[in-house]
Amino acid sequence: MLSSKTLALLLFMSEMFGSNCDTAHRMLRDNNTVRKEVLSTVKPNIGLRRNLQNQKKQERFERRENLRQWRIARRECQKNGGTNCADREDFFPEDEDHDEDGKMTAKESNTVGDNTEEKNEDNEESQTESELLQTSPIAVNEYITCVGTNAVSAHNNEYATIDVPRGTQSGQMLVMFIGGSASGTVKPGNPSGPWKVIMDIGPSDINLKALYMRYDPQGGQRFTVSGGKNTFIILTALEGIKSIVDSGATRNSGGGRMGEAVTPSVNTSSNGCVIAAFMYDDPHQVEIYNDDSSHMISSFKAKGDGIAAGIMPTNGGMHQQIRAAGKNARNGGGNDIAMAISFESIGR
Hey, where are the domains in the chain? Answer: 1-126, 130-345
pTM for the complete prediction? 0.63
- Cα(326)–Cα(162) distance, integer angstroms: 25
Residues with Cβ within 8 Å of residue 204, at least 6 apart in sequence: 180, 182, 184, 185, 186, 187
- Cα(58)–Cα(170) distance, integer angstroms: 45
Contact 231, 223 (CB under 8 A): no
CA separation (Å) from 220 to 194, 224, 231? Answer: 11, 11, 21
Query: What DSSP assignment string belongs to 199-260?
Result: EEE--SSSEEEEEEEE--GGG-SEEEE-S-SEEEEEEEEEESEEEEEEEEEEES-S--TTS-
| HSE toward the beta carbon, residue 46, CA cutoff 13 A | 7
CA separation (Å) from 272 to 178, 269, 339? Answer: 23, 5, 17
In this predicted model, what pLDDT tens digit does every residue of 294-315 receive, in sequence order?
A: 899 999 888 888 899 999 999 9
- Cis, peptide link before residue 206, omega less than 30° from 0: yes
Amino acid at 196: K
Instruction: Please state the length of the chain.
Output: 348
- Is residue 30 helix, strand or coil? helix
Torsion over CA of 32, 37, 43 and 45, rounded to 10 degrees? Answer: -140
- Is residue 270 helix, strand or coil? strand
Distance of CA 92 to the CA centre of its chain: 25
Determine the pLDDT at residue 186: 79
DSSP state, 2?
Answer: -
For residue 123, how many other CB atoms are within 10 A of its CB? 9
Determine the pLDDT at residue 236: 98
Pairing mode, if any, of strands 241-251 and 305-319?
A: unpaired
Sign of dihedral through CA atoms 76, 257, 329, 211? positive
Q: What is the pLDDT along the chain (348 residues), one digit of tens a residue?
A: 555 555 555 555 555 545 455 555 565 555 555 455 544 554 455 555 556 666 665 666 666 666 666 666 666 666 666 655 555 444 444 444 444 333 333 333 333 333 333 333 333 333 334 578 999 999 999 999 999 999 999 998 899 999 999 999 999 999 999 999 886 677 899 998 899 999 999 877 889 999 999 999 998 899 999 989 999 999 999 999 999 999 999 988 776 566 788 899 999 999 999 999 998 887 777 778 766 688 999 998 888 888 999 999 999 999 989 988 766 556 655 578 999 999 999 986
Residues with Cβ within 8 Å of residue 111, at least 6 apart in sequence: 56
